[in-house]
Amino acid sequence: MTNQNMITLSVVKWHAKPKFRSRDRYEWCGEAYREDILVPALLENEKVMVDLTGYNRYGRSFIDETFGGLIRSENFTLSELNEKLTYKHDLLKSVEELIKERLEAAENERIS
């Protein structure tokens, strides 16, 4: 049985200034967001929208670990994520472009 629901996650409601890749560096990191928030949402909902609006200094390591880590560490495929996951930043399209790039890079690592 498939849930026909969608959830929107606001990163800044989780933490105002998330950064870095791993928990050994900072509690509010990409690894924590992916494992504690994003993966459960993806498993429990048909569609997940991640809203990154409200913070303008996302580092590449946070984005890579959060999104690319879905493929590298959580065994999602890019195809699955393209069906289930959307993301936005209302002011910085470069954040959206970076997420797309990191997802594609992780998928290329997975299939090579």
In sequence order, what DSSP letters do the residues of 23-74 get, joined into one string?
TTT-SSSHHHIIIIIIHHHHHH-SEEEEE-TT-----HHHHIIIIIHHHHTT
pLDDT at 4 (0 to 100) = 61
On the question of pLDDT at 3 being above 70, the answer is: no
pLDDT at 1 (0 to 100) = 40
Average pLDDT taken over every residue of the chain: 96
Q: Where along the chain do its domains lie?
A: 6-111
On the question of pLDDT at 96 being above 60, the answer is: yes
Q: Which residue has the tokens 């999602």?
A: 76
Tell if the pTM clears 0.85, that is, is over it. Answer: yes
Evaluate whether 32 touches 63 at the Cβ level (below 8 Å): no
